[in-house]
Copies of this chain bind each other. A is one copy, B any other.
């Protein structure tokens, strides 16, 4: 299957439905069933010490799977997260963008499952991993 929306179209749709994400996230690459997405780190994402907060990591993982699903199925704002499991493994580097590498492991009629690896930009070590399930509205 190919993409129904490219990276620019997905970002334009996110701007419409979640205007507050516009300043936070950028899609570096969107391919069928795969994505590289980045959190542009700003003060509001940081904990003392300069590392990215847990909720900001969750937000990046969540929007990355949403963007992959939108890319595959088109403009479906009602697609919603039903489940997330996330493992926090290492402290992110201070004051550094956080990069999500994602894959859709399943894209069914009703459920999509995406897997996300988070790293500080330019680093090898995993900061966190997450798996998210999205429910796709029937019809």
- Residues of A participating in the B interface, judged by any CB pair closer than 8 Å: 17-20, 44, 47-48, 53-56, 58-59, 62, 80-90, 105-106, 110-111, 113, 115, 126, 129, 131, 133, 135, 138
Contacts and interface: CB of A to CB of B under 8 A. Distances in A.
Given A85-B83, A131-B129, A133-B87, A56 B54 contact: no
B81 A83 contact: no
Number of copies: 4
Contacts of A111: 82, 135
15 contacts: A17-B48, A18-B48, A20-B44, A54-B59, A54-B81, A55-B55, A81-B88, A82-B111, A82-B133, A87-B131, A89-B106, A89-B113, A90-B106, A110-B110, A110-B135
Nearest to A45: B20
Given A54-B58, A83-B86, 4 more contacts: A58-B84, A85-B85, A106-B126, A113-B129
A45 to B, nearest CB: 10
Contacts of A17: 48
A19 to B, nearest CB: 7
A105 B82 contact: no
